[in-house]
Amino acid sequence: MSSNPAHAKLDGLTPASPDAAAASISPLEGMLAELRVRHWRLGSRLVATIGSALGALWSNRLRSFLTMLGIFIGVASVIAALTLTQGANGYIDNQINSIGTLIFVFSGQASKFGVSQGAGSLSTLTLQDARSLAHLSHVQNVSPLVMANEQAVYGNQSWNTEVEGVDTNFPVIEGC
C-alpha cells in the first residue's frame, strides 16, 4: 500500500496525513488506488494481459477445448467443401473438354393440334444455311442431316423405319 495521499484519493476526499489515509481505506481499496496511478510499461501490460488470458483459458479448460474443437471442425468443413466443389468443377470441365467442339444444330419441332410431330419435323434450316456455316473460318466440317420416318417394303414384308441422309463430311465429324 502506498503512503502517498494522492494514491489514497478514491472518492475525491484527501485525508490530512498519510497515516490517516492508511487507516481510513481498506487494503483492497489501497491496492486498487495504487494500480490506477501506476505507470505501466508497454511490455508489462502485454505480459499481464497474456497471463490473464491464459489463466482464464486454463480455468475453463473444457469450454476452451470445445471452442477450439468447434473452430477446428468449422475450418475443416469449409476446406472440405471448397475441395469438393473444386473437384466437381474440374470433373465437369474435363467432361466438357472431352466432348470437344462438336456442335449439332437441329431444326425445330412442329406440333399439330397440340400433338408433337417430333424433333426435326419443322424444317427451318436449309441447305444454304449449311453452306453458309461451312464458309466460316472457325468451322472445320459441316454436314446437313435429313431425317424422316418412312415405311420400308421388301417382298410381302413392310416395317416403319427412320431414314437419315447425310453429307460425305459426316463420318469425319462423328470421328469414324
Q: What is the 3-state secondary structure (H, E, C) of the chain?
A: CCCCCCCCCCCCCCCCCHHHHHHHCCHHHHHHHHHHHCCCCHHHHHHHHHHHHHHHHHHCHHHHHHHHHHHHHHHHHHHHHHHHHHHHHHHHHHHHHHHCCCCCCCCEEEEECCEEEEEEEECCCCHHHHHHHHCCCCCCCCCCEEEEEEEEEECCEEEEEEEEEECCCHHHHHCC
pLDDT(16) > 60: no
Say which range, 79-88, 112-121, 132-141, 146-155, has the weakest mean pLDDT. 112-121
* pLDDT value, residue 137: 86
157-166 and 145-154 beta bridge pairing? antiparallel
Q: Cα(135)–Cα(145) distance, rounded to whole angstroms?
A: 18
pLDDT band at 80 (very low <50, low <70, confident <90, very high): very high
Q: pLDDT tens digits for 29-77?
A: 877 777 766 666 667 778 888 888 898 988 999 999 999 999 999 999 9
Nearest alpha-carbon partner for 103 in 132, 146, 142, 137: 142
* pLDDT value, residue 61: 92
* pLDDT value, residue 8: 47
Q: pLDDT tens digits for 123-173?
A: 677 788 888 888 888 888 888 887 788 888 999 999 999 888 888 888 887
pLDDT band at 100 (very low <50, low <70, confident <90, very high): low
More confident residue, 106 or 46: 46
Where do the structural domains in the chain lie, given as residue ranges?
18-59, 108-174
The mean predicted confidence, pLDDT, of the chain is: 78
Q: Cα(104)–Cα(127) distance, rounded to whole angstroms?
A: 15
* pLDDT value, residue 85: 96
Q: Cell numbers for 118, please give them.
A: 417430333
Contact 126, 142 (CB under 8 A): no
Q: Looking at the whole model, is its pTM more than 0.85?
A: no
As a dihedral over the C-alpha atoms of residue 125, residue 129, residue 130, residue 133, rounded to 10 degrees, the angle is -130
pLDDT(107) > 80: no
